[in-house]
Structure 1
Amino acid sequence: MTDQTQAPTRARPSSSGWLTRLTRAAPTRPGETYGVPGSGDTTWLSLASIALLLFLWWIVTATGWVKPLFVPSPGAILQKFADIWQNGFTNTSFLEHIAISTARVFGAFVLACALGIPLGLAMGMSPLVRGIFDPPIEFYRPIPPLAYLPLMIIWFGIGETAKVLLIFLSVFAPVALGARAGVKSAAIEQIHAAYSFGATRWQVMRHVILPSALPEILTAMRIGVGFGWTTLVAAEMVAATKGLGYMVLSASQFLQTSTVIVGIIVIAAIAYAFDLLMRAVERRVVPWKGRM
């Protein structure tokens, strides 16, 4: 028997080689893009954008293109902020204005989440509950808060109840609808598998549906609190003597543009800080969000 030398065979290129390379180049951390590690970090780009806006603002005011009555300079805004911080506004300290407005918004926000999230989950799971509550929520949701502000005053007076309820209504709809939409994120196979292992309806809700719905719920909470701050100014239009919205409206009546801008910036800063907090909660509670 003669030994036959086997000729080396050349490995043929796999048709899935492109898929392997793409998988290796896939992002492994949140914020990365394909093939470019760390390219999702836009911090420096955001800082440069803010600096550019401030520079343009300074140019417009320094050259006199716009009168200070309409757009005060950044320096005038800083001086007005320092003045309000030290002396307050309308015999009320600046921190008290901030605390009162924050309490109104987040009090309504907590109440909207406490009622809206369970109702939204129930609407997503039960056609009966969805049929009962979906029409009234969808009916009032697109109505601007200023439209039903007179009704709030007629029904609940001019005290804190009307203000908090007005903000509550603006937050409630997006939170409830977001929770309802989140229920659809749960795979039906997971639900059937849980039932096949003997899970109760409450266990399926807690261990399958709620974790799947959490990303949608957290996003709806971020949107809802934004609507709450938007409605704050409308809520403090009537019979309010304290609050950031009251400060903005009162200053506008006397053409105190710098005070108006200070109030707007503070409202935006508080809302943005809460949004950053919610993003941190999302990364901690639902780390799988946005990953393939």
Structure 2
Amino acid sequence: MAKRRDRNFLGPAGTSLGLGEFWALTAAGFVLFFAVWGGVAASGWLPPNLLPSPLAVWDTLVRLWNQPFAGHVYAEHLSASIQRFLMGWAIAVGIGVPLGLLMGWYRLLDEIVTPLFDAMRFVAPLAWVPLAALWFGTGIGGPLLIIFVGSFAPCVISAYRGARLVETRLVEAAQTLGASSRQVMLHVLIPGALPSIIAGLRVSAGLGWQSLVGSELIVVGAGLGYLMVQGQGNLNTTVVIAGMVGIGVVGFAIDVLLRAVEAAFKRKWGQA
């Protein structure tokens, strides 16, 4: 039997890439990036206080992992950021997905909610920072609101599109067999919309994680965004970049995890 290739990874002209090839190209991309970064830093075109070398940033990461900066070691800042993200994202998913499904199912609700939703989703998450600070002060509610705003729209849109793409004949068949609205929702609408919902969760998680730094501009005592702001205040570029590295690595890990969930779902339902 030929070795199965994951169709989630596409190469030139739509050809599939195997998982090993995907990770090899991913590693090559990282190697190229760090090589260019190290070359520019070593060239002296920019002073070290503006562009430190990758080795200098690595040394700073090691130091921050063992010595507190801005009140906490690096792992504690990282943990605080991840906890805030998971809470804010979970709230966005828990509200956004059901709302999107209901909007796709009930025409009246769609007509009522869509104009307001379309207007508010174009307000950038950072624009909510002053309002969140006024509403919640130094409490956890402010950061959660910013992450929620960043994550919410993709959840609604993906669930709404998934519900609208469910074939009408399937709904009519279920109703003909005597299924109630609740049963149609649980056994036809949600399973049919699930591929779109899962794809939307990847986008939602990415935008929510990107909103993290903005959320931590609100007065907090720990977090990668807080670490970066404190590094800026101390004119310490290596600390700022160390915070950026953590944000990038965790964001990449979140995307890979959700991509694996999406691929597993497609395999289960015969879509891969």
**TM-score, normalized by length of structure 1?**
0.83
Alpha-carbon distance in structure 1 between the residues aligned to 2:17 and 2:96: 37
Counterpart of 1:257 (choices 237, 258, 261) is 237
Match of 1:258, as an amino acid?
A: T
Cα gap change, 1:141/1:255 in structure 2, threshold over 3 Å: closer, same or farther?
same
Distance 2:244 2:156 in 1: 28
Shift of 1:177: 1.6
1:171 matched to which residue of 2? 151
- Find the aligned partners of 1:219 and 1:37 in 2 and give their Cα distance: 19
Contact conserved, 1:113 with 1:175, CA < 8 A, in 2? yes
Other-structure match for 2:64: 84
> Contact conserved, 2:6 with 2:18, CA < 8 A, in 1?
no
Q: Which residue of 2 aligns with 1:162?
A: 142
CA pair 290-264 structure 1, distance change in 2 beyond 3 A: farther
Aligned AA for 1:224? S
Q: Which amino acid aligns with 1:281?
A: V
Q: 2:164 is aligned with what amino acid?
A: K
Write the letter of the residue equivalent to 2:91: L
* Distance change (3 Å), C-alpha of 1:214 and 1:128: same
Distance 1:208 1:57 in 2: 51
Aligned to 2:225: 245
Between the aligned partners of 2:82 and 2:16, the Cα distance in structure 1 is: 39
Q: 1:275 aligns to what?
A: 255
Q: How has the CA–CA distance of structure 1 residues 38 and 179 changed in structure 2, closer, same or farther, with 3 Å as cutoff?
A: closer
Equivalent position SS for 2:115: helix
142-151 or 269-278: bigger deviation: 142-151
**Equivalent residue letter for 1:68:** P
Looking at structure 2, the residues matched to 138 and 128 of structure 1 have their Cα atoms a distance apart, in angstroms, of: 16
Q: Is the 8 A contact 1:215 1:289 kept in 2?
A: no
What secondary structure, in the 3-state scheme, does the structure 2 residue paired with 1:286 have? helix
Alignment of 1:130-149 (within 5 A): 130-149=110-129
Greater mean deviation of Cα atoms: 243-252 or 88-97: 88-97
1:214 touches 1:286 (CA, 8 Å); kept in 2? no
Q: What is the identity, as a one-letter code, of the residue corresponding to 1:130?
A: D
Q: Distance in 2 between matches of 1:253 and 1:36?
A: 49
- The answer as to whether partners of 1:222 and 1:278 remain within 8 angstroms in 2 is yes
Q: Read off the aligned partner of 1:129 and give its amino acid letter.
A: L
* Greater Cα shift, 256-265 or 129-138: 129-138
Kindly indicate whether the alpha-carbon contact (under 8 Å) linking 1:62 and 1:73 is maintained by their aligned counterparts in 2.
Answer: yes
In 2, the alpha carbon distance for the partners of 1:62 and 1:146 equals: 35
Work out whether 1:66 is the aligned partner of 2:32: no
- Aligned residues: percent identity? 33
* Cα shift at 1:244: 0.6
The answer for the alignment partner of 2:266 in structure 1 is 286
Match in the other structure for 2:95: 115
Higher mean displacement: 240-249 or 196-205: 196-205
Whether the aligned pair in 1 keeps the contact of 2:129 and 2:218 (CA below 8 Å) is no
Segment drifting more, 77-86 vs 153-162 = 153-162
Further displaced range: 96-105 or 234-243: 234-243
Shift of 1:35: 9.8
Tell which has more relative contact order, 1 or 2 (C-alpha 8 A, sep 6+): 2
User: Deviations for 1:31-63, whole angstroms, at most 9, x for unmatched residues?
Assistant: 477896756843322222221121111111122
Structure number having the greater helix percentage: 2
After superposition, the C-alpha distances for 1:64-123 in whole angstroms (9 at most, x for unaligned) are 222211111111011000000010212312211111111111101111111111111000
Please, which runs of 5 or more residues in structure 1 have no aligned partner?
Answer: 1-26
Query: What residue is the counterpart of 1:105 in the other structure?
Result: 85
Structure ID, larger Rg? 1
Q: Which runs of 5+ in 2 are unaligned?
A: none
Task: Note the alpha carbon deviations across 1:121-143, whole angstroms, 9 max, x for none.
Answer: 00001111112222222111111
Bigger CA drift: 148-157 or 35-44?
A: 35-44
Give the residue type in structure 2 aligned to 1:192: E
| Aligned partner of 1:194 among 174, 180, 204 | 174
Report the equivalent of 1:184.
164
In the alignment, the residues of structure 2 paired with residue 248 and residue 89 of structure 1 have an alpha-carbon distance, to the nearest angstrom, of: 10
Q: 1:203 to 1:270 in 2, by over 3 A?
A: same
